[in-house]
Structure 1
């Protein structure tokens, strides 16, 4: 999917799929997720991670992630998640005096050991699946606070992740784009993650690349797709998604226009 829906703070939810599904998203809030069934494969541009049944993970906010969801044989893909939104974390920080002391880097998703404490908490969440409806906010807010306490108890180092309320600072635009061009998100997301307004992003971009962002993105994605198809033996139906095109027919048209031959003929 090109862009995710608006974040749903403190809402527990499960996803059910009987067929494999691929996509990508911008993660706007920290999300604690437990894999009930099936396998999730993620890639943040630097690292691929595989989360099987029974695994627990914390997805960090303000990250770009590609994902692939694979249901088990003759079963459904299921995951249970709770969003830890900034307002909840700020209130918790003020109440208990927690503050981030550094800005941690690392992978977009942290795998957490499934301790007995985590397991008991996750078991307590499953009856709440049907409470993700208006009117149950107070109950869900209590579970969100419980999740924060448990994370800090079991993994104290996550304090610097959970209570880092800073927004992305201005970073090297060329390096960022070369690393993340294959994510199919709106320009405003790229601008935000590089610490710029959309207008400043476009201006800085054209100074560096001598092209508009949209034109550069198409050329860079086509270049990478050509490499994947010719050198790595990828099928066009795989390559177009991997490099950030949203539609196979649009990809094929643009590819043929640039290289003079359809991608299937490479």
Structure 2
């Protein structure tokens, strides 16, 4: 089942490990994350693209992004990755100390693929002793590793300053275009509101002016329309469609589909 998780780490350095079976879901990424794929494959579906990462790949996930993920362990093995989260306060402090500032608005991918770099590799290898050092007493050591990650990223990709030191919050954007691009994410309305640059009350008011119905009703109708198209025209299985389009479970999807179209999705 796809569920939204706020990818807000319990610690600055986060290890992800899954055994034998694939794991899928949704995440909201509130902070930049510098990650390395240790084993297995990771597929991330954002609002702009689909990204696939294999062992040895580095990536930077930009903050304030919605993604669907699929973690696939290798045959007989386990899925492993490591991520270092760069919170806004750490980046602000770094900016003031070293004088780094964003100069241009970054308009690139939400997940940035980073070319292999000896500095990246050395840094990731240095993190192994910190796996079990998340206690408060090691805060200063962990803080140094975060600052090191920022320096390493800037050394390998100086243009990342426009990503890391952009401290602006999402601005008010075209709501109709935003919702048609993101309706398949099963997230709370307050998340849609925030990412479209609105308070929840303003989001609901603007939404009904544009779509002439409540957000929840529109989301279900839009998802069902897309499901009908994918099943009938693209030959997809209902069990695949409901996951892709943000329904909580297959039974709820089938009930809503039959109520809307008068026939079960398996009968299309």
TM-score range, shorter chain: over 0.9
Aligned to 1:128: 130
* Structure 1 portions without partners, runs of 5+: none
How far is the alpha carbon of 1:139 from its aligned partner? Answer: 1.4
Q: How does 1:65-80 map to 2 (within 5 A)?
A: 65-80=67-82
Aligned to 1:2: 3
- Say whether the 8 Å CA contact 2:14–2:82 is kept in structure 1: yes
For the residues of structure 2 that align with 1:171 and 1:9, how far apart are their CA atoms?
Answer: 31
Aligned to 1:206: 208
Aligned to 1:255: 257
For the residues of structure 2 that align with 1:7 and 1:95, how far apart are their CA atoms?
Answer: 25
CA deviation vs aligned residue, 1:166-202 (integer Å, no higher than 9, x gap): 0000000000000010011110010001100000000
How far is the alpha carbon of 1:257 from its aligned partner? Answer: 0.5
Number of paired residues? Answer: 266
* Structure 2 portions without partners, runs of 5+: none
For the residues of structure 2 that align with 1:122 and 1:86, how far apart are their CA atoms?
Answer: 21
Distance change in 2, residues 1:233/1:6 (3 Å): closer
Aligned to 1:171: 173
Q: How does 1:13-32 map to 2 (within 5 A)?
A: 13-17=14-18, 18-32=20-34
Runs of 4+ aligned residues of structure 1 deviating over 4 Å after TM superposition are none
For the residues of structure 1 that align with 2:219 and 2:85, how far apart are their CA atoms?
Answer: 31
Aligned to 1:51: 53
For the residues of structure 1 that align with 2:106 and 2:10, how far apart are their CA atoms?
Answer: 23
> TM-score by structure 1 length?
0.97
Aligned to 1:158: 160
Does residue 10 of structure 2 align to residue 12 of structure 1? no
Aligned to 1:194: 196
For the residues of structure 2 that align with 1:58 and 1:112, how far apart are their CA atoms?
Answer: 7
For the residues of structure 2 that align with 1:114 and 1:9, how far apart are their CA atoms?
Answer: 27
- Aligned-residue CA RMSD in angstroms? 1.2
SS in 1 for 2:70: strand
SS in 2 for 1:16: strand
How far is the alpha carbon of 1:5 from its aligned partner? Answer: 4.2
Match of 1:184 among 176, 183, 186: 186
How far is the alpha carbon of 1:136 from its aligned partner? Answer: 2.2
For the residues of structure 2 that align with 1:22 and 1:133, how far apart are their CA atoms?
Answer: 29
